[in-house]
Amino acid sequence: MRNYLYTAEGKLRKDIPITEFRGALASEGSLLWLDIEEMQDEDIEVLMDLFGMHPLTVEDCIMVNARPKVEDFPGYLFLITQGVRFNDNETKVESYEVDFCVGKNYLITVHTEPVDAITLNLERVDKGSPIITRGSDFLTCSILESLADSYYPVVDKFDKRVDEMEAELFKDPTTKTFNQIYRLKNDTMFLRRTIGPQVDVFSILTRGDFPLIKASNYVYFRNVYDHLVRINDIVGTSRDIVTGALEAYVSIVSNRLNEAMKVLTVIATVMLPFIVIPSIYGMNLRLPLAEHQLAFWIVMGLTAAFTVVIVGYLKRKRWF
C-alpha cells in the first residue's frame, strides 16, 4: 500500500499512516491517493470502514478479470479497466486489471501486479507534477491516459507481426505460416474483447452524467476515449488482414494441391499407353503380330503413337 496526500495548504506528504486517513478525508481541499497492490485482509477493512466502499466494489477489487465497467455509487465512482502487454517471451498478448475508486477528495487504485501507468504517475507526483493538485478526477484521467498510451507499443508490435506474416504468406507459405496466422487471429480476438468494452465504458464517461467529474475535465476523458477508439480501429484493421490472410492461405494451399494433382494426372495419362498396350501383349495369349519378327518394335511404335496423340490432345485442351 502506497499513498500520497496533497493537503489543503498545498503540501505533499507521502506514505502517511492509516490512522491519519480519516482526518485527511475530512479535510476540504485535500486529496488522498491510495495505491494498493495485491490486496490483503487489512486493506479490505480500510476500504470498507474508512472509505465506506460497497461490498460489491470490494468483491470486484478482489476478484480480478472482471469485465470493464463504470458504476456510480453514493459518494464515489467505481471504474474497472484493463491494460494489455506481451508475456515474458513476447509470444502472446495478455491483460491485467486496474480498478479505480474515485471520491470527492480521494482516489484509490487497486491492481494485483506492478502497472507501468501507475508507476509513471507515482513518479510524476514524486517529482512535483501538478496532476495531484487538480482533483481526483483529473488524476484518474492522467492514469487512464497513461494506461491507454501503453496499448500503442503492443499494438504496433502486433501490427508489425501481421505485416511480416503477410509478406511470408505471399512469398513461401508453410505450416509454420498457418500456425502464425492462427496465433495472430487469437490475439486479435483477445485485443478486441479487451479494448471494445473499454471504448463503451469511456463513451459513458464522456456523457457528463457523473457529478464527481468536473465539467472542465470531461474534455480529458474524451481525449482518452479518442485514443481507445483509434487503437480499436487499428486492431479491427489487423483482424480483417489476418482473416483475409487465413482465407488466402487456404486458397494458396488448395491451388498448390490442384497443381500437384494436375501434374500427376497428366503424367498418369501420358504413361497410360505404356501400361495398357505392353500389359496386353504380356498376356499368355496369341495376339496379332505376337509372332512377328519385329513385334517388339511394332508394339513400342504403336505405344509411342498413342502417347503422341494423348499429349497432343492435352495440349489442345490447354491442360498443361
Structural domains of the chain ordered from first start: 2-253 (3.30.460.20), 271-316 (1.20.58)
pLDDT at 32: 92
pLDDT of residue 192: 86
DSSP run (H or E) holding 18: none
The rounded distance, in Å, linking the Cα atoms of 100 and 240 is 33
Report the DSSP beta bridge partners of residue 100: 79, 109
C-alpha distances (whole Å) from 318 to each of 218, 261, 306 are 69, 15, 18
3-class DSSP state for residue 216?
Answer: helix
DSSP 3-state of 240? helix
> What is the model's pTM?
0.76
Q: Do the Cβ atoms of 3 and 24 come closer than 8 Å?
A: no
Which candidate, 109, 45, 44, places its Cα nearest to that of 76?
109
Residue 181 contacts residue 249 (beta carbons within 8 Å): yes
> What cell does 311 get?
499429349
State the DSSP code for 10. Answer: S
CA–CA separation, 169 vs 238, rounded Å? 15
pLDDT at 315 over 80: no
Which pLDDT does position 107 carry in this prediction?
93
Helix ranges (H only) for the chain are 21-26, 41-45, 55-62, 116-126, 136-149, 151-169, 175-205, 218-270, 272-281, 295-316
| C-alpha 284 chain-centroid distance | 72
Each residue's pLDDT tens digit, 135-148: 899 999 999 999 98
* Percent of residues, the chain, with pLDDT higher than 70: 92
- pLDDT band for 35, please (50, 70, 90 cuts): very high
pLDDT digits (tens, 9 = 90+) for 197-246: 889 988 888 887 888 888 888 899 999 999 899 988 888 888 888 888 77
pLDDT tens for 280-300 read 666 665 666 666 667 677 777
* Phi and psi at residue 56, to the nearest 5°: -65, -35
CA distance 72 to 189: 30
Would you say 160 and 167 are in contact if contact means Cβ atoms under 8 Å apart? no
245 close to 165: Cβ distance less than 8 angstroms:
yes
Decide if pLDDT at 101 tops 90: yes
Res 92: pLDDT: 77
Cα separation, 154 vs 315, in Å, equals 54
d(CA 122, CA 141): 14
Environment class of residue 266 by beta-carbon count within 10 Å: exposed (0-12), middle (13-18) or buried (19+)? middle
Looking at residue 143, its pLDDT comes to: 93
Would you place residue 182 in the very low, low, confident or very high pLDDT band (cuts 50, 70, 90)? confident
The per-residue pLDDT for range 37-64, each reduced to its tens digit, is 888 888 888 888 888 889 998 888 888 7
Q: Any bridge partners for residue 98, and if so which?
A: 81
Considering Cα of 198, then 201, then 205, then 210, what sign does the dihedral take?
Answer: negative
- Assign 159 a pLDDT band (cuts: 50, 70, 90): confident
As to burial, measured by CB atoms within 10 angstroms (0-12 exposed, 13-18 middle, 19+ buried), residue 74 is exposed
Q: What distance, in Å, lies between the first and last C-alpha atoms of the chain?
A: 75
- Alpha-carbon distances of 283 from 275, 277, 278, 290, rounded to whole Å: 13, 10, 9, 10
Amino acid at the residue 199: V
Asked whether residue 169 carries a pLDDT value surpassing 90, the answer given is no
- In the DSSP assignment, the letter for residue 68 is P
pLDDT of residue 86: 80
